[in-house]
Amino acid sequence: MHPMLNIAIRASRVAGKVIVRAFEQVDKVEVQSKGTNDFVTNVDISAEEAIIETIRKSYPDHTIICEESGILQGKDDDYQWIIDPLDGTTNFVKGIPHFAVSIALKVKGKLDQAVVYDPIRGELFTASRGKGAQLNNFKLRVKPLKELNSTVLATGFPFKCKQHTDAYLNIFKSLFTKTADMRRSGSAALDLAYVAAGRVDGFFEIGLKPWDTAAGELLVIEAGGLVTDFTGGHNHTASGNIVAAGPRLAKEILKDIRPHLGEALSK
């Protein structure tokens, strides 16, 4: 196993312990609003601090990009850790046991290592560039589907970007009429991990941030899948609009998305 993946796993487990301990007394968690429909807890901050400390012990010069702390610039910017300490904060606050720690490493601008850790289920999704993706050391592959019929897609509502509600609902309707069903779980990191594991057949969402998707993106790619923006390009990190599925199914999803984009979602 790659030594930097080992550190990411160690950091995710340390953060996971912080989260699970707090989840046992979730009514005592301190919640603050950091924006419209966007919440942060003292647990997000404590988990992030634990991750940063673990990475810094081994790699003090690396840059760390965090959801809560922002960019912690290091001397060696070729190595960038991208962290979401608690993806699914709203689920956590409401006592819904579906959330994850997400840690990715970019080396010279390319995704290189990834961990998505579900501390409630004890599920550890990992990937190394060119080495495949695993769940608790079992190899993952996306479903090689060619059409939307009988598929189950995951999605996320644009709760932070409600100006896109009409476009989103049109996309949802177009896809929903062709699929078997849809899922909205509240954690993009786990949605992407589930695409990699074949638990859902595809995923799409509007307005995500790099820390939501970086680790999950590498999981999907290393499991044989495709990750694009809504136009089939590679601007999803900047736009936050993402599609993930097996290569053929991704193209079918994009066919249904494109007619409803408008200028705002075509970037």
pLDDT in tens, 221-266: 999 999 999 999 999 999 989 999 999 999 999 999 999 876 546 5
What's the pLDDT score for residue 37?
A: 57
Residues 187 and 97 grouped into a single domain? no
34 assigned to some structural domain: yes
Using alpha carbons, list the distances in angstroms from residue 155 to 101, 114, 161, 232, 243.
Answer: 19, 21, 14, 17, 9
CATH number at residue 221: 3.40.190.80
176 assigned to some structural domain: yes
Q: Give the structural domain span for 241.
A: 152-260
Residues 157 and 129 grouped into a single domain? no
Residues 183 and 131 grouped into a single domain? no
pLDDT in tens, 88-147: 999 999 999 999 999 999 999 999 999 999 999 999 999 999 999 999 999 999 999 999
146 assigned to some structural domain: no
pLDDT in tens, 137-180: 999 999 999 999 999 999 999 877 778 889 999 999 999 999 99
CB 118 within 8 A of CB 91: no
The span from the CA of 126 to the CA of 115, in Å, is 5
User: Which of the listed residues 139, 169, 200 is the one where a domain comes to its end?
Assistant: 139
Residues 105 and 156 grouped into a single domain? no
Residues 160 and 242 grouped into a single domain? yes
Domains held by the chain: number: 2
3 state DSSP class of 255 = helix
Residues 8 and 117 grouped into a single domain? yes
246 assigned to some structural domain: yes
33 assigned to some structural domain: yes
Q: How confident is the model at residue 27 (pLDDT cuts 50, 70, 90)?
A: confident
Residues 107 and 163 grouped into a single domain? no
The span from the CA of 113 to the CA of 183, in Å, is 27
Residues 70 and 175 grouped into a single domain? no
192 assigned to some structural domain: yes
**Average pLDDT of the chain to the nearest whole number:** 93
CATH number at residue 116: 3.30.540.10
User: Which of the listed residues 109, 139, 169 is the one where a domain comes to its end?
Assistant: 139
Residues 132 and 165 grouped into a single domain? no
What's the pLDDT score for residue 34?
A: 65
What's the pLDDT score for residue 30?
A: 84
What does the pLDDT average to over 189-194? 98
The span from the CA of 193 to the CA of 20, in Å, is 20
Helix-, strand-, coil-residue percentages of the chain, each rounded to 5: 40, 30, 35
Least confident of 25-34, 112-121, 126-135, 189-198: 25-34
267 assigned to some structural domain: no
What's the pLDDT score for residue 69?
A: 82
144 assigned to some structural domain: no
What does the pLDDT average to over 189-199? 98
What does the pLDDT average to over 15-28? 92
**In the structure encoding, which two tokens stand for residue 244, read together?**
């993930």
Q: Give all strands of the β-sheet with 123-128 in edge-to-edge order.
A: 70-72, 62-66, 76-87, 100-107, 110-118, 123-128, 132-135, 138-139
208 pLDDT above the threshold of 90: yes
pLDDT in tens, 40-71: 789 999 999 999 999 999 999 999 999 888 88
